Amino acid sequence: ILNVEQSPQSLHVQEGDSTNFTCSFPSSNFYALHWYRWETAKSPEALFVMTLNGDEKKKGRISATLNTKEGYSYLYIKGSQPEDSATYLCAFKIRDNYGQNFVFGPGTRLSVLP
Amino acid sequence: DVKVTQSSRYLVKRTGEKVFLECVQDMDHENMFWYRQDPGLGLRLIYFSYDVKMKEKGDIPEGYSVSREKKERFSLILESASTNQTSMYLCASSYTGVSYEQYFGPGTRLTVT
Model confidence pLDDT, tens digit, residues A31-83:
899 999 999 889 999 999 999 999 999 999 999 999 999 999 999 999 999 99
Is the Cβ pair B102, A49 closer than 8 Å? no
Calpha distance B4→B69 (Å, rounded): 17
Contacts of B103 in chain A (CB under 8 A): 43, 46
What is the model's pLDDT at position B22?
97
Q: In a mutagenesis test of the A interface, which of B88, B101, B103, B109 is the best target, namely the one with the most A β-carbons within 10 Å?
A: B101
More confident of the two residues B60 and A28: B60
Calpha distance B36→A39 (Å, rounded): 17
B34 touches chain A (CB under 8 A): no
Task: Please say if the pLDDT value at position A12 is more than 80.
Answer: yes
Pairing type for strands B31-37 and B44-51 reads antiparallel
More confident of the two residues B10 and B1: B10
Peptide bond connecting A8 to the previous residue in cis, omega within 30 degrees of 0:
yes
pLDDT tier for residue B39 given thresholds of 50, 70 and 90: confident
Q: Which residues of A touch B (CB under 8 A)?
A: 1, 4, 31-32, 34, 36, 42-46, 49, 51, 89, 91, 93, 98-107
Tell me what the pLDDT averaged over chain A comes to: 92
Calpha distance B5→B25 (Å, rounded): 6
**A65: number of Cβ within 10 Å:** 17
Is the Cβ pair B101, A44 closer than 8 Å? no
Task: Please say if the pLDDT value at position A99 is more than 70.
Answer: no
Q: Quick one: closest CA in A to B103, which residue? A: A45
pLDDT tier for residue A96 given thresholds of 50, 70 and 90: low
What is the model's pLDDT at position B18?
97
Task: Please say if the pLDDT value at position B98 is more than 60.
Answer: yes
Is the Cβ pair B98, A31 closer than 8 Å? yes
Rounded to an integer, the average pLDDT of B85-107 is: 92
pLDDT tier for residue A101 given thresholds of 50, 70 and 90: confident
What is the model's pLDDT at position B65?
97
Is the Cβ pair A51, B98 closer than 8 Å? yes
pLDDT tier for residue B37 given thresholds of 50, 70 and 90: very high
Task: Please say if the pLDDT value at position B99 is more than 90.
Answer: no
What is the model's pLDDT at position B2?
65
What is the model's pLDDT at position A28?
83
